[in-house]
A and B are shown apart, each in its own frame.
Chain A
Amino acid sequence: MPTKVLSVDDSRTMRLIVARALQGYECVLCEASNGEEGLAAARAEKPDVIVLDITMPVMDGVTMLTKLKEDPELRKIPVVMLTAESGRENVLYIAKLGIRDYLVKPFKAEQLVEKLGRIVTLVKKAVAPAPLAA
Chain B
Amino acid sequence: MATAAQSEEIARRYGLAAIPESVLRLTRLVAGQDADLGLVAKVIAQDKDLSNRLLRLAHPRATSPLEASPDAIETALMRTGMGSIFVLAMGDLLMRAVLKTFHTMLGIELQWVVSPGAPTCSSPQVVSEVAFSGRASGRVFLHQSEEASRTITTRMLGLGANDEISQGEIEDAIAEAANMGAGNFLSNLCDAGLPCKLSAPKTARLESFQLRPGPAGSREQMVFRSPELVTFVDICVDEWNF
Contacts and interface: CB of A to CB of B under 8 A. Distances in A.
Nearest to A9: B176
Given A13-B172, A14-B176, A55-B183, A89 B200 contact: no
A92 B179 contact: no
Interface string B149-160: 000010011100
Contacts of A16: 157
Interface string B6-19: 11001101111100
Interface in A13-38: 13-14, 16-17, 20
Contacts of B158: 20
A55 B176 CA distance: 11
Interface stretch (A68-76, A103-111, A123-131): A103-111
B84 interface: no
B46 interface: no
B196 to A, nearest CB: 10
A107 B104 contact: yes
B180 A105 contact: yes
A30 B153 CA distance: 23
Contacts of B103: 106
A83 B14 contact: no
Contacts of B200: 10, 55, 57
Interface stretch (B28-36, B48-56, B135-143, B186-194): B186-194
B204 interface: no
Contacts of A108: 104
A20 B158 CA distance: 8
B239 interface: no
A28 B182 CA distance: 31
Interface in B91-120: 100-101, 103-105
A104 B191 CA distance: 15
Q: What's the dominant secondary structure at chain A's contact region? A: mixed
Contacts of B179: 11, 55, 84, 105
Interface residues of A, number: 29
A85 interface: yes
A86 B183 CA distance: 8
B47 interface: no
A84 B183 contact: yes
Contacts of A101: 14
Interface in B123-176: 153, 156-158, 169, 172-173, 175-176
Interface in A92-118: 92, 95, 101-108
Contact of B14 (A12, A57, A89, A104): A104
Contacts of B100: 106
A107 B101 CA distance: 8
Contacts of A92: 2, 6-7, 10
Given A12-B172, A13-B156, A105 B183 contact: yes
A119 interface: no
Interface of B: 1-2, 6-7, 10-11, 13-17, 100-101, 103-105, 153, 156-158, 169, 172-173, 175-176, 179-184, 186-188, 190-191, 195, 198, 200
Given A11-B175, A86-B183, A105-B101, 6 more contacts: A10-B200, A13-B173, A84-B187, A95-B10, A105-B183, A106-B180
